[in-house]
Amino acid sequence: MEKVTRTTGLGEITGVVLPRGIEFRGVQYAEAGRWQLPKPVTHWDGVYDAFSGFGNKCPQYHWSEDEFYGKEFYVDPEFDVPESEDCLYMTITVPKEDVPKPETGYPVAIWYHGGGMVNGWGTEQEFDGEAFAARGVILCRVNERLGLFGGFCHPALVARDGLSGNYQLADHIAALDFVYDNIRGFGGDPDKITIFGQSAGSMGVEAMLCSPRTGNRIRGAIMQSGISYVFTNRLLPTMEQAALCGEQYLEEKGMTFKEFEALPWQDLYALTDEYRAFAEQRGVSYAPVLDGYYLTKNYNDSVKDGDVRAPFLMAGCCADDMRMNKENPEESPLYKAVSGWCSELNGQPGKTAYAYFFERKMPGDDAGAFHSAELWYVFGTYARCWRPLSEQDAALSEKMSDAWTDFAKNGNPGWAPCTLETPYFKHWNIE
């Protein structure tokens, strides 16, 4: 593979020349010890090697080919990466010089992967940056802390830092800050940043939209199959509730906080499912908490109060998604949440929100338009999919990649907004 070197405000960096873009892999955007807030990377010593590897993923479950999502996304070793608590990395794919660049720089999209807040990384096989780069959009794909590493809360941490629990959200915002501060060095426009994610990544985007810590750095946001609006009714616990839960968990295990904090990462990860089950019985999970700093109120209140921090918004779901009514999808909680969220925001000054519905019944089994199915199409990676996809699928992918990148460029994916008076959804399917 051919190398290329760029000079940025952080120093020099070496990346990979691809057929339809230039990629800088495994770029560290912040560093953090266990249950510490991320500290931004502000310079590189020497030439940064963004050629050799994609950066670590957070410790997580290893899917097998016998499991649905394992077979779908996770068993090709070409796309696996090492796992470590040192996992605050992103991969940045930029257009080649023959792609026309606006005077202010290329628009930027930041991708936050799904995985239930306990799994996933930014360079899974269904994600890729070349389709975006070929269309004149820089794509940044983010890794962050997950599970107990990203969402544990305890009174000792509150006493030490005044905050605890929102480490994954803090990483998400640190990645946004890194891009905003440094993307000009990669040819990007920091005033045209779109954040987007799917499932748990979408819920992360939702938290960022409602966080006072993101300021005015987000121009656009896309939420794919993950939303907490009224109809799905996910309310956030307070930091105090989450800290009490963490304290009770350690008491039940007969461990001190210091003993828990000192566990090797392999032993800490092994408690992921056990702690989640314990926490969910107490109204807590690995989701963000109301800590008064990163989040000050529930998402529904942020929507009602006009505190969703982006002017251009899009949300959608799949026909066979979570809790979906197959016969009457419009009555399903997720569909109604998307419609209600977009309609409410379209009624606010300076906001425009669009909705979509992915209906392609995926060939190869009876899973239909399953949760996450649209990812092969948005990122143009359908050729990597094991399913017997057709030229019609390739055409659908081209249209969806166009829409997502058009949204990143100008805040408009190419169809009518979803309003209370006209709740329009763009339907995606093969012709």
The tens digit of pLDDT for each residue in 64-87 reads 999 999 999 999 999 999 999 999
Q: Are strands 89-94 and 21-28 parallel, antiparallel or unpaired?
A: antiparallel
Six token digits for residue 277 = 């089950």
Q: What SS3 state is found at 373?
A: coil
Q: How confident is the model at residue 231 (pLDDT cuts 50, 70, 90)?
A: confident
pLDDT at 144 over 90: yes
Supply the pLDDT for residue 363: 98
For the chain, the domains span: 3-236+288-428
Among 112-121, 174-183, 324-333, whose mean pLDDT is lowest? 324-333
Q: Are strands 220-224 and 138-142 parallel, antiparallel or unpaired?
A: unpaired
Please write the tens of the pLDDT for every residue from 20-40.
999 999 999 999 999 999 999
Asked if 267 and 230 count as a contact pair (C-beta separation under 8 A), the reply is no
| Nearest Cα to Cα of residue 73 among 398, 375, 317, 380 | 375
Mean pLDDT of the chain: 97
Phi, psi (degrees; rounded to nearest 5) at 193: -105, 125
Phi, psi (degrees; rounded to nearest 5) at 309: -95, 60
Q: How confident is the model at residue 319 (pLDDT cuts 50, 70, 90)?
A: very high
| Nearest Cα to Cα of residue 56 among 78, 25, 15 | 25
Question: CA–CA distance from 148 to each of 131, 151, 165 (Å)?
Answer: 34, 5, 9
Asked if 346 and 353 count as a contact pair (C-beta separation under 8 A), the reply is yes
Six token digits for residue 266 = 């392999």
Q: How confident is the model at residue 230 (pLDDT cuts 50, 70, 90)?
A: confident
* Residue whose pair of structure tokens reads 């691809």 in the numeric block: 18
| Nearest Cα to Cα of residue 86 among 160, 143, 163 | 143
- Sequence-distant (≥ 6) Cβ neighbours of residue 405 within 8 angstroms: 109, 131, 132, 135, 136, 137
Supply the pLDDT for residue 327: 86
Q: How confident is the model at residue 194 (pLDDT cuts 50, 70, 90)?
A: very high
Supply the pLDDT for residue 270: 98
Q: Which secondary-structure segment (H or E) carries 273?
A: helix 272-280
Supply the pLDDT for residue 383: 97
Supply the pLDDT for residue 431: 81
Q: How far apart, in whole angstroms, are the C-alpha atoms of residue 122 and residue 144?
A: 9
% residues pLDDT > 90 (the chain): 97
Q: How far apart, in whole angstroms, are the C-alpha atoms of residue 170 and residue 38?
A: 7
What class, spelled out in words, does domain 3-236+288-428 have in CATH?
A: alpha beta
Biggest distance spanned by C-alpha atoms of the chain: 62
Supply the pLDDT for residue 111: 99
Asked if 382 and 389 count as a contact pair (C-beta separation under 8 A), the reply is yes
23 CA to centre of own chain: 19
Supply the pLDDT for residue 146: 98
Please write the tens of the pLDDT for every residue from 78-124.
999 999 999 999 999 999 999 999 999 999 999 999 999 999 999 99
Amino acid code (one letter) for 258: K
Averaged over 394-400, what is the pLDDT?
98
Q: How far apart, in whole angstroms, are the C-alpha atoms of residue 408 and residue 351?
A: 15
Angle at 418 between CA 312 and CA 135, to 5 degrees: 45
Amino acid code (one letter) for 84: S
Asked if 27 and 92 count as a contact pair (C-beta separation under 8 A), the reply is yes
Asked if 121 and 145 count as a contact pair (C-beta separation under 8 A), the reply is no
Supply the pLDDT for residue 233: 74
Please write the tens of the pLDDT for every residue from 236-295.
999 999 999 999 999 999 999 999 999 999 999 999 999 999 999 999 999 999 999 999
Inter-axis angle of helices 272-280 and 239-253, to 10 degrees?
120
